Amino acid sequence: MDHSTFRDFSKAMADYIAEYLENIRDRRVLPSVQPGYLRPLIPNAAPETAEQWTDVMKDIERVIMPGVTHWHSPRFHAYYPTANSYPAIVADMLSDAIACIGFTWIASPACTELEDVMLDWLGKLLGLPKEFLACSGGKGGGVIQGSASEATLVALLGAKSKIMTEEKEKRSYADDYEIVKKLVAYTSGELALTILMEGYSLSNKPILPFNGPDFWGGVQFRMVPVDDKHRMQGAALKAAIKKDREAGLIPFYVVATLGTTSSCAFDNLAEIGPVCQEEKVWLHVDAAYAGSAFICPEYRYLMEGVEYADSFNFNPHKWLLVTFDCSAMWLKDPSWIVNAFNVDPLYLKHDLQGSVPDYRHWQIPLGRRFRSLKIWFVLRLYGAENLRAHIRKHISLAHEFEQMVLADSRFELAADVIMALVCFRLKGSNEDNELLLKMINGNGRIHLVPSKIGTTYFLRMAVCSRYTESQDIQESWKEVQAMADRLQAEKAKGN
């Protein structure tokens, strides 16, 4: 493709994208295709000779769109939001054009340096303690990871390298494995649920149980019992650690979740933090979804105790309008991660090592994209005040939905509404709720997913799209009510 064709093609694509997003409200949220729908629509081998870009454009509506779940439809309410914004889309075009692999500073200085500064910008917007920020002149700093799951694993590996060093200084061990098999990490049952909902685990086991120990990242994970609002409290963590120490085990890592995937519950960080400090265990905070809300000062009470954390992570790619993938992670002392990951073959060494981060030591892969460009574009082209308005609007829409749920005596809430997620259910059996959800998604006008805490099955309504307005929320609720009417009518007929 020559330069002039690229100009025509990309301009046509920009028009198509604007058209798609402007009119996304008119599309059915969930596709009605059956598995295997796509293969018969395209040839069974790659073309031998080049085609025209116009032919490719024509096939988007024919081949792709019938099988797209429209995540940015104002009536998409499943999972959690994933970001979408014009500044981020354009920044990714530029990143794709530069197409550098920024593993060391010299591999593309702007790629490393903009990331370093953008993580300071973001950290300041959230009100993170200065110990996390590179601009404070201490050891701390931030990095972009691909996902929150990766950040949790990276922090675990840092914590592991720290505890191994400390234990070896304290007493002699036959080998490293003797230490590793005694290590214990802690989380609320909700981390397990996150991994389960996403259908994968970093250990070989596909599913973790909600109680008892299991393995993740090569160490034992203990599920700390939660309170009636699904939150981990300090006393329960303290008791679990004490029991393990008495059994001769080595507690070393705690993951506190601010805004769990299942019901958006907040672990009690203000209590967990001091416990971790007393017990000298690494505290990692997973605020993947809810972290974006901390740009609004009125929600920072939910991260009280963050000053005790060793690492903190949230996903701008969820709720802060920076497209996937962009998971922001801060470390107070990155040297533990750097030591754990440091591999320095000759061809990756350069003369200026040490003065700025070589991000390859801060992450699992070697390669990395120029992702800070999209943070820069989004922060500049929205401005903090519009990002705050975006968060506040979503939360207020969730409360609007909550009020409608409460006004219909057939329904009840399954969790407190704190962020832009409403967990609700029909009063009555899990089976009725399962049927209701099946009808809602079968109709395809709105899209919800369920979750389960303990034995209670419920539906989750997340405000996801930046196009969602009050009118959409009202229509979504009417759709839920209509399906509940239909369910009740069918049950009446069946009886």
Binding residues for ligand PLP, per CB under 6 A?
A: 80, 147-149, 194, 257, 259-261, 286, 288-289, 315, 327
The Cα–Cα gap between 103 and 463 comes to 36
Cβ closer to ligand PLP: 37 or 200? 200
Cβ closer to ligand PLP: 78 or 480? 78
Residue 464 CB, shortest distance to ligand PLP, in Å, is: 12
Residue 70 CB, shortest distance to ligand PLP, in Å, is: 19
Residue 243 CB, shortest distance to ligand PLP, in Å, is: 26
Residue 465 contacts residue 81 (beta carbons within 8 Å): yes
The candidate with the shortest Cα–Cα distance to 224, out of 199, 247, 254, 249, is 254
Residue 317 CB, shortest distance to ligand PLP, in Å, is: 7
Strand duo 327-331 + 141-145: pairing? antiparallel
Q: What is the DSSP string of 73-111?
A: STTB-SSS-----HHHHHHHHHHHHH----SSSTT-HHH
Cβ closer to ligand PLP: 255 or 296? 255
Q: Phi first, then psi: what are they for 357, rounded to 5°?
A: -65, 145
Residue 230 contacts residue 260 (beta carbons within 8 Å): yes
Residue 272 CB, shortest distance to ligand PLP, in Å, is: 15
Cβ closer to ligand PLP: 25 or 390? 390
Residue 82 CB, shortest distance to ligand PLP, in Å, is: 9
Cβ closer to ligand PLP: 163 or 254? 254
Cβ closer to ligand PLP: 182 or 230? 230
The CA-atom distances, in angstroms, between 488 and each of 114, 181, 363, 461, 479 are 57, 54, 52, 21, 14
Cβ closer to ligand PLP: 254 or 404? 254
Cβ closer to ligand PLP: 196 or 426? 196
Residue 463 contacts residue 398 (beta carbons within 8 Å): yes
The Cα–Cα gap between 61 and 26 comes to 14
Q: What is the DSSP string of 8-32?
A: HHHHHHHHHHHHHHHTGGGS-SS--
* Dihedral (CA of 378, 293, 158, 226) sign: negative
The Cα–Cα gap between 421 and 416 comes to 9
Cβ closer to ligand PLP: 260 or 476? 260
Cβ closer to ligand PLP: 108 or 261? 261
Q: Which two tokens stand for residue 418?
A: 């704190």
Residue with tokens 């505890």: 163
Residue 111 CB, shortest distance to ligand PLP, in Å, is: 21
Residue 262 CB, shortest distance to ligand PLP, in Å, is: 9
Residue 155 CB, shortest distance to ligand PLP, in Å, is: 12
Q: Which two tokens stand for residue 36?
A: 């295997």
Residue 81 CB, shortest distance to ligand PLP, in Å, is: 10
Overall size of the chain counted in residues: 495
The CA-atom distances, in angstroms, between 313 and each of 24, 134, 138, 143, 370 are 31, 15, 19, 10, 19
The Cα–Cα gap between 181 and 220 comes to 8
Cα–chain center distance at 66: 27
